[in-house]
Structure 1
Amino acid sequence: MILKLILSLKNFLRRYKCSSDHWIGLKMAKNRTGQWVDGATFTKSFGMRGSEGCAYLSDDGAATARCYTERKWICRKRIH
C-alpha cells in the first residue's frame, strides 16, 4: 500500500515538481529505522539511498539528506 502511494507521488512529482526534490515526511534513525510525521513506523517497503536523517523524493527515487537542506515539502512540516 505505501509503495503504491510512493510510486503515485513519484509520478505526480515528475509531472509537477519542476526541478526540485521534495521532503516526504520521513525521519530516519542511524539504525535505518524510520518514522513518518504521523507517527507510523517506516516498514522499508521501498528502497532508500543514503544514511542521513530525513528522506526526500527525487527523480531517481527515495534518498536521505541532512534535515536542514532546503527542499520543498509534499506533506506537512512539524514546526518545533
Structure 2
Amino acid sequence: REHPKRPVLGLRCPRAEVSGARFWGLIRSLCPDPRAFFRHCFVHNLCPLLFLAASGRNVPPPELRAAERERLLAPCGA
C-alpha cells in the first residue's frame, strides 16, 4: 500500500537519495568506467523494502525493534 504522504513516483521522483548518491560517488571515484565496474561487480540491496512511520518519515532497519529487525533480516541474509 502506498503511504499518502509518500506517493510512489518512480523516475519522476524529485527527491535526492543521499545514501545512494554517496555510494555511487564512491564507486565512480574508485572506478570511473561503469562498464569495468559492472564487468566484475554486482550490487544489490540486502533489504529492498521501505518502512515508513505514520508521519511518512523513513524508518531504516537499524531503527526497528530488535525482534522485528531479526525477523526481517534473517530471510534477507539467507
TM-score by length of 2: 0.26
TM-score by length of 1: 0.25
Structure possessing the higher radius of gyration over alpha carbons: 2
Q: Which of the pair is proportionally richer in helix?
A: 2
Relative to its length, the structure with more strand (as a share) is 1
Structure number with greater CO (CA < 8 Å, separation at least 6) is: 1
